[in-house]
Amino acid sequence: MEARPYGASFDQEAPLALTPKQRRLRKEIEDIASILDTDHWNILDYKAKDRTFWLELTKDKLIRGHVIVMYTLVDQLLTSAIWRYYFPARPPWVHKTFTQLWRMKQFRTFNHYLMDEIYLMKKLALVNAIRKVPKEVHSAISRINECAKCACACALSRETSKIFDT
């Protein structure tokens, strides 16, 4: 079986050429990667003695970025579960989009003063009190939380050491 990139479709063969929008997006991604020093495809342009450092840094940034995305997703899913419990599907919010809900004072207040102030594990405990969260899910969320804490702490200590080492 041929290896495919993460998220690639297995249903059909990829077209030979990128569309204009895809070329523009690819260029934007390459520019962002260059700014963030994650342009690993240009590693041969770096000094030989610095290549390992830049590759490790790129790997670290990609992993930390993914952990933060997962943390944010889980946080949003837990917030949605809590929202559904306290605001069951009934008028005036039953058929509203999140954009419409954000216009409602009750929704904004609940989110800004409660959900934005509660950490992931406290939200998990609240959802678990509402309805039992399976052990595997609880464990996975706990691991994501630990990874996020470590990712932030490692990044902060690395940045701090750069400041004081110069």
**For residue range 23-77, what is the model confidence (pLDDT) as tens digits?**
999 999 999 988 888 888 888 988 999 999 989 988 888 888 899 999 999 999 9
Could you report the per-residue pLDDT of 112-165, keeping only the tens digit for each? 999 999 999 999 999 999 999 999 999 999 999 998 888 776 665 655 555 555
Confidence of residue 9 (pLDDT cuts 50, 70, 90): low
The pLDDT of residue 95 is above 50: yes
pLDDT, position 25: 95
- pLDDT value at position 1? 44
Helices (H), ranges, the chain: 20-35, 51-86, 98-102, 105-113, 120-130, 135-165
* Number of Cβ within a 10 Å radius of residue 123: 21
Residue % of the chain over a pLDDT of 90? 44
Write down the pLDDT at residue 162.
Answer: 54
User: Tokens for 85?
Assistant: 């419990």
Q: What was the pLDDT predicted at 114?
A: 92
pTM above 0.75, yes or no: no
Q: What is the pLDDT of residue 5?
A: 58
Token pair 């406290």 is found at 122
Sign of CA dihedral 35, 55, 71, 158: negative
Residue 107 to residues 30, 63, 92, 114, 131, Cα–Cα distance (Å): 38, 33, 11, 10, 22
